[in-house]
Amino acid sequence: MTGVVRLADGLVWGNAASALAGSLNVGPRDAARAAIVRHLLALPPLDGTGELGPAGFVRRSCCLYYRVPPGGGLCGDCALVRTSVGGRPPTPPGTSA
């Protein structure tokens, strides 16, 4: 059985911003392409969805990947890592340590 599920706008646009930022990891490094990506991330509706810095993109919304069975995990630009303690990734919500 399949159905339609409503997704929060923040989740959808966070995922879109993550995909856009991830495009910088494919192919040769190009300053012009990086400038375009930075420009697009600064425009609505992508503005405020995350931050592109020296270590890459870090999103501000959770993609909910940790909820994908079995075991989930954290995505490469996980917002939850920003809340880690002692340099260790946090335990995703709803899981045990």
Using the Cα atoms of residue 60, residue 61, residue 65 and residue 66 in order, give the sign of their dihedral: positive
**Strand pairing class (50-53; 56-59):** antiparallel
- For residue 92, being part of any structural domain is answered with no
- Number of structural domains in the chain: 1
- For residue 58, being part of any structural domain is answered with yes
- For residue 95, being part of any structural domain is answered with no
- For residue 26, being part of any structural domain is answered with yes
- For residue 88, being part of any structural domain is answered with no
- Could you report the per-residue pLDDT of 40-66, keeping only the tens digit for each? 999 999 999 999 888 788 889 888 888
- For residue 33, being part of any structural domain is answered with yes
The average pLDDT across 8-20 equals 92
Based on the number of CB atoms within 10 Å of its own CB, is 18 exposed (0-12), middle (13-18) or buried (19 or more)?
buried
| pTM of the complete model | 0.73
- Could you report the per-residue pLDDT of 60-84, keeping only the tens digit for each? 988 888 888 888 888 888 887 755 4
Q: What is the pLDDT of residue 69?
A: 84
- For residue 94, being part of any structural domain is answered with no
Which residue segment(s) compose the domain that 44 sits in? 9-81
